[in-house]
Amino acid sequence: MKTKYIIFTLLTSIFLFSGCDSKSEFDESLVADVKKNTPIIKEFVSRTLKLTTTDGKIIELTTTKEGIDFKDYKGKKAILVDVFATWCPPCIKGIPVLKELREKYKDDFEIVSVLFEKEEDKPKAEVLEFIEKYGITYPITIGEENFKLAKDLGDVQRIPELFLFSKDGMFVKKFLGETELETYEEYVKMAIGKK
């Protein structure tokens, strides 16, 4: 048994050290070249969007490198952008949590729900029925600008995705899927400047 172990160790050592000599050939194309593989970083371009709520109001915002400036809320309220769809079970399940969160911090905090469905798929009347059915009191936006915002938020593909911004428009936290009230609260307190 000892002899087998010694022979195995000796052969392994010879194999390892003979494979690393300076004469060994290797395929250079498999080695990462930092200069060639540097990702192309697009230059950031700020843009202003005007989201339309179901009751016809406009929520104007401007994207920044650090987050989003909400014209009517900047310096006043932290904003949780909720990208959702009416057919999405986790979105629906999360509504009571969002309502409770908004009610608890309403003086310093607002939720803006961004409908991620084409208008031809979901007429405004159906969205209004949805709002009434679930007792939603925070604004829900509809229209093409929603899709531009979803693109600017990192090209949203899954829902619900929620993005929290502080009172001064700085990005704080992204939430994906169902989230508990306590988790939201931890970050909302940071966003509004409370401990």
User: What was the pLDDT predicted at 119?
Assistant: 64
* Residues contacting residue 187 through CB under 8 Å, at least 6 positions apart: 164, 172, 173
Q: How far is CA 162 from the centre of its chain?
A: 6
User: What was the pLDDT predicted at 120?
Assistant: 63
Q: Count other C-beta atoms under 10 Å from residue 95's C-beta.
A: 19
Cis peptide before 39 (omega within 30 of 0): no
Single-letter residue type at 38:
T
CATH number of 48-192: 3.40.30.10
Q: Which residues of the chain have pLDDT under 70?
A: 1-43, 119-121, 195
User: What was the pLDDT predicted at 11?
Assistant: 42
Q: Which run of H or E residues covers position 187?
A: helix 181-192
User: What was the pLDDT predicted at 43?
Assistant: 67
User: What was the pLDDT predicted at 17?
Assistant: 38
Calpha distance 14→9 (Å, rounded): 9
User: What was the pLDDT predicted at 169?
Assistant: 95
In tens, the pLDDT along 164-183 reads 999 999 999 999 999 999 99
